[in-house]
Structure 1
């Protein structure tokens, strides 16, 4: 399918929406991330960086990043920079802001040679002037007061949204959703680097390459899904397969026997990030639990450590039902009962975690 065919109903020359780009998508691929398993090791970040963004002009790009919440994230303050839609009917795009280079942080060069070859006693540090911001600048910095402070990790990639504003914003029709799986891609031949896609994405997961003068973003490792590797086998995205605690599940939303459908649709415990942006993300999160709070003398008290009000800011009102559902199923297992939900969330079977061949013959 050509880019023109994929995009012919996406936008008119003014950039106003003319049809829903989700129409005609055969099967929407999706990912669920269980935040209760993330240890902030950044292995997913490095897997993505090594595979996709080592080239010139991509030094500052992290298509996958893991940020500490509460925190400003990457790029800095992305949640306040705008984008998305202004109404439930998605009749008008919300104006957004293009992050500055300072918001992303510089691509630092470190003093590795001094430490490894010159036997220097200097600590590991960036070369040149002391940096003022960068990815993971606020890593492991939490909220609350001791002994009830808290933080958790939030891995982020492009959400490959059902109603992507990056697609609608591009006057060149260079950004499109693939018909076969709903992955959002940028046609590098059509892109002219106007950066309306960067402005329009409320998650700020589209990046501008100042060397090639084009926009780039996560491609959901689609060559791996298509079996284009050396072994000819289908593999999940690198951020998922390389994750040490295996917190990501990948599959199709309409696979009713798969874990994605069950977690998102059946049990309702996997939620989109910032649903108020109205782009309908296809990356979902199982919200984090934390140990209960403690009193000043060390006694456990019946107060949640991570305030639900904060989680509601991230995942919407549905977070209350999601956490209550998880707690009921956890209690059921503690009492010796069975729970399909807990089986899914604790499965170590790759065939269960990654169901990517189910529609191959469709």
Structure 2
């Protein structure tokens, strides 16, 4: 057993209100620079929907992630070394700017400098690529709140797999918000596809980064990433991606998206995993077994054998204690309500999600019954407005059983804690027992998901001073290096000029 540490995140989708604060603060911190106007390290998608870039989940088209051969070996879906070499100068399988969106600004001079006239002047949209007038037809947030629209929903690759089971009539439409960042995978396809070896996974905390000195702009990583969370900076000719805010993590602070999240839905913590079993877990034959295989990779930090193995690998005592207090291990293993995004890509993603339950309470209440009664909730889960089958295609490779288990546990917590909060003398403990939990488990899960304090949501051990020189050496070529400091509001590598002499792109949606 070779124990390694990994910084991981869990997002509680029940709490996401789609305000996009996380996206805007991340944009202002990391990608508000020339050449990155179209890049959103963090974005919030309305599901069902096409996502960003459009239809990124259609791996038959984009060839992201890994594929398993009958002999049990894994290879990149985009092809092996010879195929990559043959297309190294012209990668044919990569989203175009139209699949992202052509970034724009507005000609505000028309408003401020226009002479007195009969009609009000208009600030026309101008392309940040060509500088010419353009017609806005798409953006990173274009289908916000439009999940029920058949023009957009039918383009959802996940929905196509279950079109016979899901109705798209407006009055029966469903939606929820899905925030996304880089998954910082245990088996990253982007790193395997990089011809120059510029993408690497930090051994001390598992964060996946791009060495800007080594990057040659081949863009094979863009194709290989099934989540399409690597972007190409057309000004610098380098690949860039979410850095998990590693300068903040190193001093014990949460990521910017977590810090500014209005709904407090993000949890950050350290987990231990067995590095010797990553390939074995990613290579299991049945896609439905990938969730359990990935769960088994995450080790119990309270197990004395794991603690001894971690110490033998040089992991410090305070990091071990942080892993033992981690909310991530609790949500993944103890409560079993956190699920990975698209495990069938076989990258072993380390950003997990608690599936949304909110609509089931409303749907039960509309029938005239108690929306938080345990019996009613359990019976209604199978007929959620958000179909369990859709959630299963997102989080469990199409297997509805783990999703149903997670939703039943969330429903049990709501039902039991409702009795407690109403002051009933004998809350029904059988509700917890029906989902394989104890009353103590229910209280602890409620405390973590509903009432967690800052220090309970973010358990981040700071890097040690003895590691400072090594970390500094690693960081010098990392991701957002350049004039003005790593994306922290400086002018960037182009001296502050964005596009073709146009004003800086303002982060936002279709407005």
TM-score bracket, shorter-length normalisation? 0.7 to 0.9
Which protein has the bigger helix share?
2
Q: 1:124 to 1:74 in 2, by over 3 A?
A: farther
Q: Distance in 2 between matches of 1:52 and 1:129?
A: 26
Greater Cα radius of gyration, structure 1 or 2? 2
Structure 1 residue matching 2:99: 3-state secondary structure: helix
Note if contact 1:84-1:165 (Cα within 8 Å) is conserved in structure 2: yes
Of the candidates 122, 131, 140, which is equivalent to residue 135 of structure 1? 140
- TM-score normalised by the chain length of structure 1: 0.84
1:243 correspondence with 2:248: no
Of the candidates 191, 196, 207, which is equivalent to residue 172 of structure 1? 196
Residue correspondence of structure 1 range 43-122 to structure 2 within 5 A: 43-80=21-58, 81-87=62-68, 89=72, 91-95=74-78, 97-110=93-106
CA shift for structure 1 position 326: 1.3
Residue correspondence of structure 1 range 198-209 to structure 2 within 5 A: 198-209=222-233
Q: Distance in 2 between matches of 1:42 and 1:54?
A: 16
Q: 1:358 to 1:263 in 2, by over 3 A?
A: farther
Note if contact 1:207-1:216 (Cα within 8 Å) is conserved in structure 2: yes
1:273 correspondence with 2:273: no
Note if contact 1:25-1:181 (Cα within 8 Å) is conserved in structure 2: no
Q: CA RMSD in A?
A: 2.7
Note if contact 1:193-1:215 (Cα within 8 Å) is conserved in structure 2: yes
Q: Tell me what 2:448 maps to.
A: 344
Q: 1:359 to 1:333 in 2, by over 3 A?
A: farther
Of the candidates 244, 252, 259, which is equivalent to residue 220 of structure 1? 244
Note if contact 2:249-2:462 (Cα within 8 Å) is conserved in structure 1: no
Residue correspondence of structure 1 range 253-264 to structure 2 within 5 A: 253-254=271-272, 255-264=323-332
Query: Which sits farther off after the overlay, 285-294 or 150-159?
Result: 285-294
Note if contact 1:221-1:238 (Cα within 8 Å) is conserved in structure 2: yes
Q: 1:331 to 1:212 in 2, by over 3 A?
A: same
Note if contact 1:33-1:249 (Cα within 8 Å) is conserved in structure 2: yes
Q: Distance in 2 between matches of 1:289 and 1:91?
A: 35
Question: What is the count of residue pairs matched by the alignment?
Answer: 332
Q: Tell me what 1:10 maps to.
A: none
Q: 1:352 to 1:117 in 2, by over 3 A?
A: farther
Of the candidates 399, 405, 409, which is equivalent to residue 321 of structure 1? 405
CA shift for structure 1 position 217: 0.3
Query: Which sits farther off after the overlay, 331-340 or 71-80?
Result: 331-340
Structure 2: gaps of 5 or more residues: 80-92, 127-132, 149-167, 273-322, 370-379, 421-426, 428-441, 468-511
Q: 1:122 to 1:157 in 2, by over 3 A?
A: farther
Q: 1:125 to 1:147 in 2, by over 3 A?
A: farther
Structure 2 residue matching 1:63: 3-state secondary structure: coil
Q: 1:116 to 1:182 in 2, by over 3 A?
A: farther
Q: Distance in 2 between matches of 1:25 and 1:212?
A: 37
Q: Tell me what 2:219 maps to.
A: 195
Q: Distance in 1 between matches of 2:237 and 2:94?
A: 15
Q: 1:86 to 1:113 in 2, by over 3 A?
A: same
CA shift for structure 1 position 332: 1.8
Q: Tell me what 2:10 maps to.
A: 32
- TM-score normalised by the chain length of structure 2: 0.61
Structure 1 residue matching 2:11: 3-state secondary structure: strand
CA shift for structure 1 position 41: 1.1
Encode CA deviations 1:317-362: one digit per residue, 9 max, x unaligned.
2222211221122222122255211211113411001000278599
Structure 1: gaps of 5 or more residues: 1-22, 228-233
Q: Tell me what 1:306 maps to.
A: 386
Q: Distance in 1 between matches of 2:462 and 2:120?
A: 55
Q: Distance in 2 between matches of 1:350 and 1:313?
A: 32
Q: Distance in 2 between matches of 1:305 and 1:56?
A: 42
Q: Distance in 1 between matches of 2:363 and 2:170?
A: 9
